Structure 1
């Protein structure tokens, strides 16, 4: 009597989640995904989850506010046509500060994506399995920051989330400042 393992689905011998098909003689390439969601393993308590890149991302809205000070238009109007219609002079809007603001905004956007990549890489090095994907930072920094902390809460529950709260507070203050500044500029354009 021979003792062979009958064909069937068995836990993958490579250690991957899910099952692999044993044909009675050898493992095949056929795999089944795991039955439920794969849990991320927790990281040890001594491993820090706050990285330098996430802190730089959290403080980036301060640079956005400072960059807004580069743009100080002196709005001028000119009369056009025989009926005295007033029009905004484009030269008063498109100043050097305007272009500094535009280029600076693009550089900060690129820096945010780079910082998300560096943070993702640092988390992987610290043992976080499948950290939140850094390309979400292309959509918006806030998407990456919040998604990152959702994952960190799963692998390191109970840890403080100071970079997240810092980003939210600094971002909210920056948004209020931007709205007030935009309202003041808009008010200058009204006759």
Structure 2
């Protein structure tokens, strides 16, 4: 009984396969597929543990985590749109100030510039912290450039790396950074409530005069 058509080992000694059509061997051959070895990727060596007693905190990491409080203080002292209060001081004769005055005057510009300065200073302090950790023997510390995404991102990443090489020490910046973010969120909420109350009061005063 003849074999069914298919690819079989070449009976003529070829390295590949030859097609059997059910009756005879044909001229169709397949060349063997060469399997390329997978590219070798050397494993990333583990970071060496720090010697016992090596300080894991720097002044810079505390500045990175605490500087956002400056923005919180600005939020609690700055009164954006305070020009509306002056606008409706005499509802019978409202005065429309310029746009800058409506947003709080020059204080608005100062607050905006201060917020950007805080961001820049945080990045600089993160770089100084990164450099100091390297000097103390931490291999491949969490990169300072992550601070562009926010101080809490750098604080968490930095603490994770340090804890791995310092026997579990070095996690305090996470707690501090989270606490600071909570304070900033509360300050933003309070500011929003103040703005909303001021606007509603102004609308109520105008409505009372119109009635």
TM-score normalized with structure 2 length: 0.65
Q: Please say if residues 54 and 119 of structure 1, whose CA atoms lie closer than 8 Å, have aligned partners that are also in contact.
A: yes
Aligned equivalents of 1:143, 1:62: Cα separation in 2: 16
Gap runs ≥5 in structure 1: 1-30, 80-86
Gap runs ≥5 in structure 2: 1-38, 89-95, 204-211
Query: What SS is found at the alignment partner of 1:76?
Result: helix
Give the drift of 1:68: 2.3
Aligned equivalents of 2:180, 2:97: Cα separation in 1: 34
Structure 1 residues 185 and 89 mapped into 2: Cα distance closer, same or farther (>3 Å)? farther
User: Following superposition of structure 1 onto structure 2, how do residues 134-145 of structure 1 map, counting pairs within 5 Å?
Assistant: 134-145=144-155
Give the drift of 1:178: 1.4
Q: Out of 42, 61, 65, which is 2:49 matched to? A: 42
Q: Please say if residues 70 and 97 of structure 1, whose CA atoms lie closer than 8 Å, have aligned partners that are also in contact.
A: no
Aligned equivalents of 1:45, 1:167: Cα separation in 2: 26
Answer yes or no: is 1:109 the counterpart of 2:119: yes
Answer yes or no: is 1:33 the counterpart of 2:48: no
Give the drift of 1:169: 0.8
Match of 1:167 in 2: 177
Aligned equivalents of 2:121, 2:61: Cα separation in 1: 12
Aligned equivalents of 1:183, 1:137: Cα separation in 2: 30
Give the drift of 1:52: 0.5
Structure 1 residues 181 and 70 mapped into 2: Cα distance closer, same or farther (>3 Å)? closer
More strand by share: 1
User: Following superposition of structure 1 onto structure 2, how do residues 1-150 of structure 1 map, counting pairs within 5 Å?
Assistant: 32-34=40-42, 36-73=43-80, 74-76=82-84, 90=99, 91-150=101-160
Query: What SS is found at the alignment partner of 1:98?
Result: helix
The count of aligned residue pairs is 154
Answer yes or no: is 1:182 the counterpart of 2:185: no
Aligned equivalents of 1:89, 1:182: Cα separation in 2: 22
| Over 6 Å off, 4+ runs | none
Give the drift of 1:130: 0.4
Aligned equivalents of 2:144, 2:151: Cα separation in 1: 10
- Which moved further from structure 2: 66-75 or 117-126? 66-75
